[in-house]
């Protein structure tokens, strides 16, 4: 019973942690880049982007896709922050009035999110806590940023808010500001932007939606010669999503090992019970009970023990998940894992499947050892001590 309880608890915890971790990392990547991006084909692997034309008609057409929940424009400009003591490379990302602030608002630790515009510039920025700490900056400070084109251009910006996602690849890179400011730095026309970010309603249909939009838009030229190129977040970040997919293999290894441990524990337990009850088995056979009836009785007894162990396993596993989600007892290094505490996710369907799978596998492994009952002879077993 203890083997079943420990094994099931480990399986529940492993699945909850891996699903929670994948969800946290995926949501942060999507929060910075949305589900689907439409950019210029000439700017596939560079932050120094070539623009595309995105007018009101295109924004309306993209929003009309039934699978799309939100559409927003963005522009980027690589540059550098410089203070008296240090300097740091960064990417200034501009967004317009249609910007969805929910993701940044969730991780905002100081200040407020400015009202972003595509027609005027407030010269206000959101900066990550990691960058602010590294550059010794605080809320309300004026920062000097520099951008290199044919000549060096400078802009003085005011820190309006500080966010912290613990996703270092983005926290150490992006400053968020007005679309108008970035477009003026790039020297672009009003309808030109780096690209468009699309949010989908159902992530499970991401590939199908990407293909549908790409079929309509890919390789089309805009009015100024830019070529549209559609990619989803998994295509934009293949290393991160390949790494997350590898975690599934770890879960399968844990599940197989734990089911194996639990099964072998029950096999040894059933064999001990049969040996201890050899005299009783002989008496039952002498009274006319057949092998199938006796085997079924012992298997039902084993199922009772398995069920008792599973109850304890569920209690331990779910208790850990609840405590961790509420109090964050186990911490992680955000520089390595992108989260500061071990995340957990409650997926009731998966927990039910784990329980059913454990029960089925354990009972299946007990069928073979139960055939030992057929080898017991009534005449000799009733003298067995």
Q: What is the pLDDT of residue 213?
A: 95
Which residue numbers in the chain have pLDDT < 70? 1-2, 44-48, 378-385
> What are 131-156's pLDDT values in tens digits?
999 999 999 999 999 998 778 888 99
Q: What is the pLDDT of residue 358?
A: 86
pTM of the predicted model as reported, rounded to 2 decimal places? 0.82
Q: What is the pLDDT of residue 113?
A: 93
Residue-range domain boundaries for the chain: 50-224, 238-380
Distance CA 126, CA 129 (A): 10
Residue pair 358/7 in contact (Cβ under 8 Å)? The answer is: yes
> What are 267-319's pLDDT values in tens digits?
887 777 777 777 777 777 777 778 788 888 888 888 888 888 889 989 999 99
Q: Where are the beta strands (DSSP E) in the chain?
A: 36-40, 52-53, 68-82, 87-95, 108-111, 124-128, 142-148, 152-163, 174-178, 192-193, 195-200, 228-232
- Count Cβ atoms below 10 Å from residue 206 Cβ, excluding itself: 18
Distance CA 206, CA 65 (A): 13
Distance CA 88, CA 96 (A): 25
Q: What is the pLDDT of residue 63?
A: 93
């Amino acid at each position: 019973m203890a083997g079943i309880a420990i094994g099931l608890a480990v399986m529940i915890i492993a699945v909850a942690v891996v699903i929670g971790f994948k969800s946290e990392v995926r949501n942060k990547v999507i929060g910075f880049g949305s589900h689907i991006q439409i950019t210029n084909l000439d700017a596939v692997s560079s932050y120094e982007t070539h623009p595309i034309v995105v007018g009101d008609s295109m924004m309306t057409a993209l929003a009309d896709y039934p699978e799309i929940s939100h559409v927003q424009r963005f522009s980027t400009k690589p540059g550098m922050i410089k203070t008296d003591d240090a300097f740091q490379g960064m990417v200034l990302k501009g967004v317009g009035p249609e910007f969805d602030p929910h993701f940044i608002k969730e991780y905002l630790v100081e200040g407020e999110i400015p009202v972003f515009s595509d027609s005027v510039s407030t010269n206000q920025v959101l900066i990550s806590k990691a960058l602010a700490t590294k550059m010794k900056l605080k809320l309300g400070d004026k920062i000097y940023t520099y951008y290199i084109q044919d000549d060096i251009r400078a802009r003085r910006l005011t820190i309006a808010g500080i966010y912290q996602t613990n996703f270092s690849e983005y926290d150490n890179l992006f400053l968020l500001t007005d679309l108008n400011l970035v477009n003026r730095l790039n020297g672009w026309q009003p309808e030109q932007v780096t690209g468009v970010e699309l949010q989908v309603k159902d992530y499970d249909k991401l590939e199908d939606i990407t293909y549908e939009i790409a079929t309509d838009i890919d390789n089309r030229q805009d009015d100024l010669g830019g070529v549209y190129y559609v990619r989803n977040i998994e295509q934009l970040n293949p290393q991160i999503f390949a790494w997350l997919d590898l975690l599934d293999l770890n879960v399968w290894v844990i599940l197989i090992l734990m089911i194996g441990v639990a099964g072998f524990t029950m096999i040894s337990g059933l064999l001990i019970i049969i040996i201890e009850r050899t005299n009783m088995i002989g008496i039952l056979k002498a009274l006319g009970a057949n092998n199938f009836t006796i085997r079924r009785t012992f298997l039902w007894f084993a199922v009772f023990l398995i069920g008792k162990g599973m109850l304890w396993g569920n209690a331990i596993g779910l208790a850990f998940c609840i405590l961790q989600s509420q109090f964050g007892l186990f911490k992680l290094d955000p520089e390595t894992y992108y989260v500061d505490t071990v995340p957990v996710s409650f997926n009731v369907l998966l927990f039910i499947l784990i329980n059913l799978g454990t029960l089925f596998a354990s009972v299946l492994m007990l069928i073979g050892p139960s055939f030992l009952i057929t080898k017991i002879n009534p005449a000799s077993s009733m003298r067995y001590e």
